[in-house]
Amino acid sequence: MNSRNLQWLEAEYTRRSFLRRVGGAGSGLALFGAGGTVWAAEPTSTTGPGALQETPFPVGKDVDSLIRHSGLTFETKRDAFGTSTIVPYERLFVRNNLPTPDRALVDDRNAWTLSVEGVARPGILTLVQLKALEVVTVATVLQCSGNGRAFFEHEASGSQWGVGAAGCVIWSGVPVRAVAEAFGGVSRGARFVTGTGGEELPEGISPDDVVVERSIPLEKGLEDAFLAWEMNGEPLPLVHGGPLRLIVPGYFGINQVKFLRTLAFTPEESSAAIMQTGYRVRPIGESGDPNQPSMWEMSVKSWINHPSGDGPMRSGRVMVDGVAFGGMRGVRRVELSVDGGTTWQDAPLIGPNLGPYAWRQFAVPVTLERGTHLLMSRAVDDAGNVQPADRLENHRAYANTSWRDHAVTVEVE
């Protein structure tokens, strides 16, 4: 089997949660059987005006700030990012390939164990022990590979994310390098750092078909990847991978393995489907192949958050704001167009610079007269790379950075 299983799982989950909601056959059905990790066991948020009793938003999420694509995928609305750089837990997007593990996972965080392989002396460390090794605090953009998929035209399967499968978050954790050193150093021949998620896997399917296991180049892993237990000042929430998660600054979301159980220094990339054939950039209609580019490094991108284009506006002065990031490097500047990309003006960066992996926000006041306006932003990274006008067409609709696609249409009355 191949990575199609992941889509099957999501579709199957959505079907079953629907059956559960309407109380028909399959009511209360556990996707993975007894003792399994069942989304149905996840407490749901039912407060707030937009809350629906039967919509399983992860606990504590602000239902008015999120778009629910499925029981496993929640997107931040364009107008819910605000202008203070960090996206709080309540508004941060969620993307799970598998059902979120049971809350029991975070009952005793410090007892969580991490198995370390491909080092001189393989072994296990508890979270308490990891916390005593070394600590770094880093702000990064967490972004799903499929963010911007909704703007592709070939009807790629998967969540139809607009701009909101992304957020800027501050993490604390221990460098991968320090963990390797604690076990006597990386084994000879290792070329990758491979992280394995801690979800319970369904029976009767080969683990490789469903496990969330990803590899990144060893140099990157030793340079600045780390294992995080804290997010935005709080113990890492369960839906975001608590108790422990791999963070690879500047890389796409899929590499940020949640519920990290194993950290291995390996000679080859993981044999998991999501590494071998999934998360590969490939021409439309072609199947996944290990020779195609893997979804690793992100590149320069920006978009406008306000005005969001939802509903008509009054004519006059309006503050246009949005976010910009370089992916693997900082942002040099951002430009704004209010005439569909014909002319551009400078969009000053506001707020703190939290390092090359964080996003910057920009804000520029403009005056909009009555009529229809097409607004867009275009960022340039520290190396001079310019955000492109057009997306790279690809089968899975990944890595959309097109400034045209991310434009907002504003009706002014």
Ligand X SMILES: Nc1nc2c(c(=O)[nH]1)N[C@H]1C(S)=C(S)[C@@H](COP(=O)(O)O)O[C@H]1N2
Which residues contribute to the site for ligand X (CB under 6 A)?
Answer: 93-98, 142, 144, 197, 199, 212, 240-241, 253-254, 256-259
Per CB under 5 A, the segment of 137-145, 177-185, 231-239, 331-339 that binds Mo ion is 137-145
How many chain residues touch Mo ion (CB under 5 A)? 4
* CB neighbour burial string for 205-227, b if at least 16 within 10 angstroms, e if fewer: eeebbbbbbbbbbbebbbebbbb
- Please, what is the minimum distance in Å from the beta carbon of residue 279 to Mo ion? 8
Whichever of 97 and 337 has its CB closer to Mo ion, that residue is: 97
- Please, what is the minimum distance in Å from the beta carbon of residue 169 to Mo ion? 15
- Please, what is the minimum distance in Å from the beta carbon of residue 243 to ligand X? 12
Residue pair 250/328 in contact (Cβ under 8 Å)? The answer is yes
- Name 215's Cβ contacts closer than 8 Å, sequence gap at least 6: 192, 193, 194, 195, 266, 268, 269, 270, 275
- Please, what is the minimum distance in Å from the beta carbon of residue 352 to ligand X? 22
Assess 95 for contact with Mo ion (CB under 5 A).
Answer: yes
Query: What, of ligand X, Mo ion, none, does residue 337 touch, CB below 5 to 8 Å by kind?
Result: none
- Please, what is the minimum distance in Å from the beta carbon of residue 25 to ligand X? 27
Which residue's Cβ lies closest to Mo ion? 144
Residue pair 275/269 in contact (Cβ under 8 Å)? The answer is yes
Whichever of 279 and 362 has its CB closer to ligand X, that residue is: 279
Q: What angle do CA 254, 401, 288 make, to 5 degrees?
A: 45
* CB neighbour burial string for 165-202, b if at least 16 within 10 angstroms, e if fewer: bbbbbbbbbbbbbbbbbbbeebbeebebbbbbbbbbbb
Whichever of 2 and 187 has its CB closer to ligand X, that residue is: 2
Query: Would you call 212 helix, strand, or coil by DSSP?
Result: coil
Whichever of 254 and 320 has its CB closer to ligand X, that residue is: 254
- Dihedrals phi, psi of 354, to nearest 5 degrees: -95, 25
Q: Binding marks (x or -) toward Mo ion, 141..160, rule CB under 5 A?
A: ---x----------------
Q: Where are the alpha helices (DSSP H) in 23-62?
A: none
Alpha-carbon distance of 193 to 191, in angstroms, equals 7
Residue pair 377/325 in contact (Cβ under 8 Å)? The answer is no
For residue 182, give the H/E element and its range.
helix 176-182
Alpha-carbon distance of 106 to 240, in angstroms, equals 12
Assess 253 for contact with Mo ion (CB under 5 A).
Answer: yes
- Please, what is the minimum distance in Å from the beta carbon of residue 244 to ligand X? 10
Whichever of 56 and 241 has its CB closer to ligand X, that residue is: 241
Query: What, of ligand X, Mo ion, none, does residue 9 touch, CB below 5 to 8 Å by kind?
Result: none
Residue pair 391/401 in contact (Cβ under 8 Å)? The answer is yes
> Of 195, 200, 198, 228, which Cα lies nearest the Cα of 127?
228
Assess 306 for contact with Mo ion (CB under 5 A).
Answer: no
For residue 17, give the H/E element and its range.
helix 4-22
- Please, what is the minimum distance in Å from the beta carbon of residue 172 to ligand X? 15
| Strands 260-266, 113-117: pairing kind | parallel
Query: Would you call 21 helix, strand, or coil by DSSP?
Result: helix
Whichever of 147 and 302 has its CB closer to ligand X, that residue is: 147
Q: Binding marks (x or -) toward Mo ion, 257..296, rule CB under 5 A?
A: ----------------------------------------
Whichever of 112 and 325 has its CB closer to Mo ion, that residue is: 325
Whichever of 94 and 336 has its CB closer to ligand X, that residue is: 94
Query: What, of ligand X, Mo ion, none, does residue 240 touch, CB below 5 to 8 Å by kind?
Result: ligand X
- Please, what is the minimum distance in Å from the beta carbon of residue 97 to ligand X? 3
Alpha-carbon distance of 92 to 102, in angstroms, equals 20
Q: Which residues bind Mo ion (CB under 5 A)?
A: 95, 144, 253-254
